[in-house]
Amino acid sequence: MQITASYIRQALHGHYPQGEAAALARIVYGEMLGGSTTDYYLDRDIDLTEAEARRLEDILARLRAYEPIQYIQGYAHFLGRDFEVTPDVLIPRPETEELVELILDEMPPARHALDVGTGSGCIAISLSKAWHTRVEAWDVSAPALEVARRNSRRLEAEVDFALRDVLQDTPLPGRPYDLIVSNPPYVTEAEKADMAPGVLEREPALALFVPDDDPLRFYRAIARLGRTALTPGGRLYFEINRAFGQATAQMLELMGYNHVRLRKDLSGNDRFIIAEK
């Protein structure tokens, strides 16, 4: 069987906006079928075996059912590394890459760092690799932690994972943290109507949503932990809902944090909060 990039784009027509369909077609054609970038843009044929053709039709059917391409591939790119992802973990976003880059730009290697709500482990593992140091990471989901552990072993990072719920009474660390970082759930229930089906129906709700009447619940809990668990001068780094930047900053100031800063992402949205104990 011979297929072209236009065949893939046409198979996704009507299911995705034109630009997104083209981006997905490039991934399928190049990363999954082995076609070159030049061949993609020249719309050249790729010869597929019968097994490869069946696999392609399975991929296209899953995409038409709005399964994220990263789950189909089994991995997501994050700061130059491939992280295993399954439906048990949130797919890492570019904004979270920006969060890690912000930390690395602003902080020396932390002696003791904690990632709350680690998911695939992308934040903790990336910090461990960059700093050549051991990082601690918590998550409330046991299946997510299994994915994170596999990523850590494969990427040869030094991360200690623990099954902990920051909303509950959490044991204090044996030694204080220089850094607590988190990309916690922050999408309100009211925002579901504006979400793409692939996110809303496929990614873990546990990692995404907060109640409309308490959108800052995780930030409050982590900040409360930080008041006792951070070293003097230790920092919180949060990825946030752009709608609640000022509210999150005000909450941290009222809780006694210093030098609270609100930073925008590359799209110009309020996306990150930094605060010092």
Tokens of 72: 């189909």
**Mean pLDDT across 218-243:** 96
**Mean pLDDT across 88-104:** 97
In 3D space, the residue among 115, 116, 101 whose CA is nearest the CA of residue 158 turns out to be: 115
**Mean pLDDT across 145-151:** 98
Contact 225, 166 (CB under 8 A): yes
In 3D space, the residue among 121, 76, 127, 138 whose CA is nearest the CA of residue 101 turns out to be: 127
DSSP per-residue codes, 92-154: P-HHHHHHHHHHHHH-PPPSSEEEES-TTSHHHHHHHHHHTS-EEEEES-HHHHHHHHHHHHH
The full set of domain ranges for the chain reads: 2-65, 81-276
pTM, full prediction: 0.93
Q: What is the pLDDT of residue 211?
A: 84
Q: What percentage of the chain carries pLDDT values higher than 90?
A: 84
Fold of 81-276: Rossmann fold (3.40.50)
AA letter at 57 = E
Comparing 85-94, 192-201, 220-229, the range with the smallest average pLDDT is 192-201
- 171: confidence class by pLDDT, cuts 50, 70, 90: low
Contact 55, 73 (CB under 8 A): no
HSE-up of residue 169 (Cα within 13 Å, Cβ side):
0
pLDDT in tens, 128-137: 999 999 999 9
CA distance 35 to 47: 10
Max Cα distance, the chain (Å): 65
* Mean pLDDT of all residues belonging to the chain: 93
Secondary element (H or E) of residue 54: helix 50-64
State yes or no: pLDDT of 173 exceeds 70: no
- 92: confidence class by pLDDT, cuts 50, 70, 90: very high
Q: What is the pLDDT of residue 189?
A: 81
Comparing 1-5, 149-153, 201-205, 270-274, the range with the smallest average pLDDT is 201-205
CA distance 151 to 78: 12
pLDDT in tens, 232-246: 999 999 999 999 999
